[in-house]
Each structure stands twice: as C-alpha cells, then as structure tokens.
Structure 1
C-alpha cells in the first residue's frame, strides 16, 4: 500500500515508519524539518517537507495514498488552541479532495471529553471513509518533560496523581497498534481503539521512575487545578494551552477518562514502565 504518515521522526512515527517499510509498504513521511530528509530516506521512506497547516501541501502529499496516519502536535507556546481544530479541518479537507479511503487518527484517551477542542468530531463528516481514532493513555515519554521537577522538587505534581489509575503507554506499542489498524481491511465508518501498555496508579509509576533515577519514595502529588495552571504558565506554557492541559488532567483525576476506557479495554502492550525506566535513568543522569 501507499501510506502517508505525519509526525516526522517522533516517538511514534519513527517506529511506525520502520514497521511499515519492513512490511513492504511504500511510505511517505511528512516532516517540517528539511534537515531530516536524509534520515527519512535512510529508513526507506520518502520525505515530504511541509506543514499540516498548509492545505495545498496536504492535498499534494495525500494524493494517491491508500491510507494516511494523522497526528496533531500540541504547541505549548501557542496562544491559539484553535489551531488544533483547524489542523483537523485540513486533514478532513485533504482526505475528501484526494479520496483516501483509510484514515487513522491519533487523539487520546480523553479526546471525547474535551470542551476546548474536539479532535475527533471533525472526522464524523467523512462519509464512506474508514476512520480509526487511536486513543492512547499518557506516554511513557512524557516523563522526559518532568526531569527538572523530579530533580529539583523531588516529586511529580499535577492536578491528577496519587492513587488515580492511569493507562500508561509506550510509543512503540502505539506504533504497533497503528500499523495493525492500517493493515486491517477497511470498513467505512468510525472506530475507536484504545492503546495502553500498563495500568498503574500514579504513585506506582512514580515509584518505578524514582527507583530508576535514585530517588526512592518519589511521590506523585495532586495539586489544585489553578495552582497547576499557574505553574505551567510560569514555565513558559501559554495560558490557553495550560488551561487545556489542566482540563485533560482533570478528566484523569475525576475518573471520566477511565469510564469509557474500561468499557473498551484493550489488550496491554509489550513494553512495561520498568523497561522504559532503565532508558530514562540513563538519559536523566546524562542531562
């Protein structure tokens, strides 16, 4: 198949490219960074340099594709969270214009609960197209963003935590799930697939990470939403994006994220947090 992927050489798209190329598919990988062309080509894929905010570029990139994978990165410095919605509009437009029949969209396990943005709703208008919403839980790789907090505060803090149960996920397991969906015979309509690698309380996750980096007893504390938003803004996150992140975290704390997840509980992936923690610890002590 001819497959177009977004996400450049990120935590998901890189292993996804490797899987699909190995399976013999003709893969085009979209990146905004022209300097990554050689690396994409070395993986056996064709680079397409451009922005998902550019409709004409997307139409050109999607033309002739049998399947596309759409992801929408969140810009932590942007003051316009509406860009998320506009990017989804661009994806829908490009799919309609090019007649792509198979679409896999990366959203998240709280995507259906959000009020500020609605990343899945746009695709409901695609009649006759097979669309899968892949809803992973929080990525293991998110711990990279918590390094300074762990090192300088000796804790993890957010407006979820403690004994809240979270479906953590390895990006590699997400990549495998997306590849499976792309290879599944297309059936017109909408489908949702959750992806998780390990179900842990936040304190259990903190303990695993803490032991790996040499901070035994590391705790994951729950703070009031307004305090978390203030902290995010102080670290350089825009007020608009900070509010969106707080909204996401609140759904993980109040149990709403877990409700639909448990009704559609997936088989857990192969990579456990202890596997990631060993790599994380090596990185943590080098940076």
Structure 2
C-alpha cells in the first residue's frame, strides 16, 4: 500500500513509520522541518516537506495514496488555538476529498464528543464534524487517551516542590495511552478496509491520579510523592509562571476541569470499550524514571 502519514518523526510518527515500512508499505511522511528529511529517509520512507495548514501541499502529498493518517499538531500557535486547529482540519479534509483518498484515520481524543468544556480537545470535535461530511471515504476517528508522555511536564514540579498534581483530585479516573500503542492502532486501522465512518478508542490503561503519584513515586525513589489537587486558579497561575501562553494555559485549565467533572472521559467509560493498549502505567514509569 501507498500510505501518507502526518506527525513527522514524533512520538507517534517514528514508531508508526518504522512499523509500516517493516510491513512492506510505500510510506510518505509529512514534516514541516527540512532537517527531518534525512532521518525519514533513513527509516526507508519518503519525506514531504510542508505545512499541514496548506491544502494544496496536502493534496499533492495524498495523491495516489491508498490510505492517509491525519494528525493535527497540538496547540497550533500561542493564540487562536481552536480556530487554527480547526482550519488545519479543513485543509486535511479538502485534500482528502480532492486527492480522492478512500481510507483515512484521524487522530482524535477522549472528550471529542463534546463541543466545549474540554480545552484544546474542542478543536478535534470540530474536525470530527468536518470529516463526517466527507463522502466516499472509509474513515476511523481514533480517540486516544491522555498521553502518558504528558506526565513529563510534571518533572519540574516534582523536583522543585516534591509534589505532583493538577486541578482534579487524586480519585479522578483517567484513561491513559502510550504513543507506541497509538502507532500500533493506527497501523492496524490503515491496513483495514471497513466501510463508512467509525470511532475507535485507543487506551493503554485506566488509572486514578493517586495511582500515578504512587507508581511514578516508587519508580523515582520518592515513595511518598503526593498527588495534590489545585484550584483552577492555582493551576492557571502555575502554568503562566512556567511560561505557557495565557490562551494555552486557559485551555489546559479547562481540560483539567473537564477531567475533574468526569465529562471528558465519560463517553469512553460508558462505552465499555476494551482497553487494548499493551503499555501500562508501571511500564511507562520505567521510562519516566530513566528520563527523570
């Protein structure tokens, strides 16, 4: 198969490219960075350099592709994030339509069933709705859990204050996912030929915030590491102090509030969908400790 994927050689793109090339597919990797071309070619793939916001570029990259993996970058710009993300989705959709792509997999998220109250995920809700209008395309919305790798953002807090936390409680249940499990699911879906449009959740583990503090704490020799629940104001202030643009910080604080209320994870938890990722919290904790 000829397959075009977005995401460059990131946490998902690199293992996905490696897996697809090993399976004998003709893979083109979209990247915005010329410096990545050599590394992409070293994996046995072709590079297409351009912007995912450029529908003409995407159409060219998608032409003759049997399948496409569409992944919009998180937090496109420091302002107008939802609008920018939505516009990128429109560019993807236009390119898929004009290039005549018949099979596409879109990386979405838990909480993408909600139009608001979910922070940056609102952009993915918009994109799902745009993609739903595409005709003659077999499309899977791959809704991923909260990335384990996002927990690396808490390293400064752990080192500086000896705590880990957010604006949701230690009892909050979070569906997590590892990028490698996402890559495996994407590869599997790209090689399928289902009809119509469907939703698949990809989740590696479902754990409480208390579990996160305990398991990570044990892995880094801080067995008493506590999970601290912040107010929305405290969380917002901490992210601003860490240097996040105010709009990004506000979106993350809103996402934390959505997790606290349970709304973001509600659809997945109620769907009784199997947890089919292989990498559990304890596995990720070893990676976390190695980088800590």
Return closer, same or farther for 1:35/1:234 CA change in 2, 3 Å cut-off: same
Question: Structure 2 residue aligned with 1:245, among 232, 249, 252?
Answer: 252
Whole-angstrom distance in 1 between the partners of 2:133 and 2:154: 38
Where do 4+ consecutive residues of structure 1 move more than 3 Å? none
Return the alpha-carbon distance in structure 2 between the equivalents of residues 7 and 264 of structure 1.
29
Whether the aligned pair in 2 keeps the contact of 1:77 and 1:238 (CA below 8 Å) is no
RMSD: 1.5
Structure 1 residue corresponding to 2:154, chosen from 141, 146, 152: 146
Bigger drift between 154-163 and 198-207 goes to 154-163
Unaligned runs of 5+ in 1: none
| Structure 2 gap ranges (5+) | 117-121
Q: Which residue of structure 2 lines up, in the alignment, with residue 53 of structure 1?
A: 53
The residue aligned with 1:233 is 240
Change (3 A) 1:132 1:157: same
Q: Secondary structure of the equivalent of 2:88?
A: helix
Q: Does the Cα contact within 8 Å between 1:77 and 1:241 map onto a contact in 2?
A: no
Determine the structure 1 residue equivalent to 2:24: 24
Say whether the 8 Å CA contact 2:138–2:193 is kept in structure 1: no
1:1-287 equivalences under 5 Å are: 1-75=1-75, 78-81=78-81, 82-115=83-116, 116-117=122-123, 118-188=126-196, 190-262=197-269, 263-284=271-292
Q: Please, which moves more after superposition, 155-164 or 60-69?
A: 155-164
What TM-score do the two structures reach when normalised by structure 2?
0.92
Distance 2:135 2:249 in 1: 34
Larger CA deviation: 5-14 vs 260-269: 260-269
Query: 1:227: Cα distance to partner?
Result: 2.3
Q: What is the CA–CA distance in structure 2 between the aligned matches of 1:130 and 1:250, rounded to whole Å?
A: 34
Shift in Å, 1:197: 1.0
Q: Secondary structure at the match of 1:113?
A: coil
Summarize deviations over 1:53-101 as a string: whole Å, max 9, x none.
1222111111111111111122376112110011001001101110101
